[in-house]
Amino acid sequence: MGSINNLGGVLLRYLFSALIIVALVLPASADYKEIFEKEFLNQPWGGEMLAESACIECHSSETMDADLQKIPQEWKTSWHFQNNVSCHDCHGGDPSDAGMSMSHQRGFTGSPKYAEVPDFCGKCHIGILSNYLQSGHGKALLFSGTGPNCVTCHGSHNIQKANIDIIYGRRCTQCHSYERAKVIKQALFLTETKMQAIEDNLRKLKADGVILSEEEKTLFRTQAEFRTLFHTVDVSLVNESTDKFAKILTQLEEEIKATFDELRFRRNFSAFLSLLFIVIGVVLSILSKTYKD
């Protein structure tokens, strides 16, 4: 009995010292986090996406011109980055082979010239390209090289999700008065604010755990269609279509309102249950006082 008793004491002392050593030593080894993440998060199946492309590796290295070196950094903040659109998706080339990556044989197309940009982006944004080409801007670019191209308004590497804030004084007055810009911004404004409000509400609902995926899809489709329309820079066309969009959006708004009502009901209902059990608890505690211990 005595020896087992001792054993307990010895174990306890060892445990104590071990804990203290661990507590002292650990903060000292600073790179533990990296090691840990490498060892526990290593997943072979995630490798494809995580693999740095040769383009990015070389273009962010010190051998690059300071101007050009910033590009990968800019791109990493972009919406394209989040949607897995990488260097070679735009510029072509082979990201898996550093030596040959910028070879024209591997599909590298280089940096587009000013007038080539619409076609360059239009590979993927087909609907926008066709609207753009029919617009005053597209025609001006084609015939006199004076129209704005996609990069003028969106940038090239730090492209963000689009909204009407892209239309503002300094950008739109480079070539003509702001009057024209203002008129089209006003035409867009009502529908844009509605779409924004719906988007915010859907996000709020999602944070509350209610995912309205059908409604999200409808909104996404409507947004894309409406924003494509802008590229015609045709004010009367935008005004004509406003009714059509308003109808879709009003329906979405109603569905969202119904969902918020449902959430309110849920909150009240469980608050009621909570109250009910508080009352039951009080009754029980009074009841138990009536029984003498």
Residues binding other proteins (CB under 8 A) = 1, 4-5, 7-8, 11-12, 15-16, 18-19, 22-23, 26-27, 29, 32-33, 35-36, 39-46, 48-50, 206-211, 213, 266-271, 273-275, 277-278, 280-281, 284-285, 287-288, 291-293
Contact between 245 and ligand HEC by CB under 6 A: the answer reads no
Which lies closer to other proteins via its Cβ, residue 40 or residue 143?
A: 40
Residue 287 exposed, middle or buried by CB count within 10 Å (0-12, 13-18, 19+): exposed
Q: How far apart are CA 235 and CA 232, in angstroms?
A: 8
The interface region with ligand HEC, picked from 2-10, 26-34, 51-59, 243-251 by CB under 6 A, is: 51-59
Residue 170 to residues 87, 156, 289: CA-CA distances in angstroms? 29, 18, 78
Residue 249 exposed, middle or buried by CB count within 10 Å (0-12, 13-18, 19+): buried
Query: Contact 123/112 with Cβ under 8 angstroms?
Result: no
Which lies closer to other proteins via its Cβ, residue 11 or residue 142?
A: 11
The interface region with ligand HEC, picked from 25-33, 196-204, 224-232, 266-274 by CB under 6 A, is: 224-232
Minimum Å gap between C-beta 36 and other proteins is 5
Contact between 122 and ligand HEC by CB under 6 A: the answer reads yes
Token output for 73: 């950094």
Which lies closer to other proteins via its Cβ, residue 142 or residue 278?
A: 278
Q: How far apart are CA 223 and CA 200, in angstroms?
A: 14
Question: How many residues sit close enough to ligand HEC to count as binding (CB under 6 A)?
Answer: 77
Contact between 194 and ligand HEC by CB under 6 A: the answer reads no
The interface region with ligand HEC, picked from 7-15, 220-228, 250-258, 272-280 by CB under 6 A, is: 220-228
**Would you give the DSSP letter of residue 12?**
H
Contacts of residue 232, Cβ cutoff 8 Å, sequence gap at least 6: 131, 132, 134, 135, 238
Minimum Å gap between C-beta 26 and ligand HEC is 38
Q: Binds 127, which of other proteins, ligand HEC, none (CB < 5 to 8 A, cut-off by type)?
A: none
Binding mask 3-42 for ligand HEC (x = CB under 6 A): ----------------------------------------
Query: Contact 101/54 with Cβ under 8 angstroms?
Result: yes
Residue whose tokens read 């009841």:
287
